[in-house]
Amino acid sequence: MATRKPARIFAGIGAGLLILWLLFMSRTAPAAVGIRMADWKGTGLLRNNKPGDVINDVFNASLGFEKIFVVGLPERTDRRDGITLQAAFSDLEFEFIDGISGEKVADKAIPKTTEHDRLDNGAIGCWRAHMNALQEVVRRNLGSALILEDDADWDVRIRQQLYDMALSTQALTQPLAGTTNSFADKSFRPPPEGPPKGVPEFPINRLPKTVPATVTPYGDSWDLIWVGHCGMRMPPADSPVPRGRVVSVNDESVPEKRYLWSLAPPFTLKDDYPEHTRVVHHAQEGVCTLGYAVTQRGARALLQEVALKDVGDPVDILLRFYCEGGKGRRNHNCLAIQPALFNHHRTEGPRSAMSNIGSHEGWQDKPSTDMTRWSVRLNVERLLDGQEMWDQLPNQNKPE
């Protein structure tokens, strides 16, 4: 019996050390990392963050925003089923905002300050649905909110992606450490001598040290962040919009260029950057309202500029005017990420089900999600069965 005592002692010491390690990790690691999948490796979520740092809020059930709202017609129960399942596997909490059919919106309720025809009912319904979501943000006095359309899908690594985006947006909009009004991107709030020429670029692994954010993980001075879209121009060197970019190369969640597309040419990301690159920049000429985040200040300004001023264009174009200051709107601090983090999911079946606005003919042979490698929606059955994730957009060009 005496010969077993050292083994018991070492076992006890080992158990004690394990408990201490678990307690340490529970205090230092994010409270939630998303996917409940025991064999999913390489999440990249554990960072060298200081306890209490607001950037850790990216890991909560609303991705660092106060609320997540999903906009969609109540009769599209198929979409509600799908996004509810996706959110469950991603440990996300959200609320539905009921969409509205355009024919139910009275002419008198649509601001018109110039002579033009009424937009078609699909565009009017989409505009009003998004205004209703913004109305909720303002009415509840929410500090921030993420607004998604009900056909949005995302990568299982969404928190890792948003963490990197938060680092990027802070670098572009927070004052440099030790200052109150000096910025790494000199085109954001130009110094007295004016902004420098060219396009400032910052590698994500060598970002300037800035004043820590205290309000949201994404910074303290933004109005809108476009996280889901069908294309976004990067402000060129002569743009009046701030031109700074944060560049992340070798991002394994970004598919190869052959899978990338944009409805807002030129497609600078594809033309000028290497494979598997993601860029965060100030927004210019975005298309689609698939997903965007707003602050309370931004939502109030959106109600003023988009809900209460001339509705002569679809809502995504009105958001563009809101950001850039077009057609009687003031400009606002808007940012964007490319490729988008929230993308359209296409279900198998008749293409007519793809949109409640436009008409689509033909048949979708298999389900897909644009520009998303590890789609949550397309991996649901594997998540249910505890299997390995499926990369729907695998690499063709192997790295050397």
pLDDT of residue 122: 94
- Using the structure block, give the residue that is written with the tokens 């899978």: 259
Residues of the chain with pLDDT under 50: 1-46, 48, 400
pLDDT of residue 195: 80
CA atoms of 335 and 216, how far apart (whole Å): 14
- Using the structure block, give the residue that is written with the tokens 């158990």: 15
Between strands 363-364 and 349-350, the pairing is antiparallel
Nearest to 211 by CA among 242, 173, 161: 173
CA atoms of 260 and 275, how far apart (whole Å): 10
Q: Which residues contact 84 (CB under 8 A, 6 or more apart)?
A: none
- Concatenating the DSSP letter of every residue in 139-208 gives HTT-SEEEEEETTEEEBTTHHHHHHHHHHHHHHHHSPBTT-SS--SSTTTS--TT-PPSS--EEEGGGPP
pLDDT of residue 102: 95
- Concatenating the DSSP letter of every residue in 249-273 gives -S-TTSPPGGG---SSSS-HHHHHS
User: What's phi and psi for 68, nearest 5 deg?
Assistant: -115, 130
> For 40-70, what is each residue's pLDDT tens digit?
333 444 454 566 689 999 999 999 999 999 9
pLDDT of residue 199: 95
> For 213-243, what is each residue's pLDDT tens digit?
999 999 999 999 999 999 999 999 999 899 9
> Which run of H or E residues covers position 125?
helix 121-139
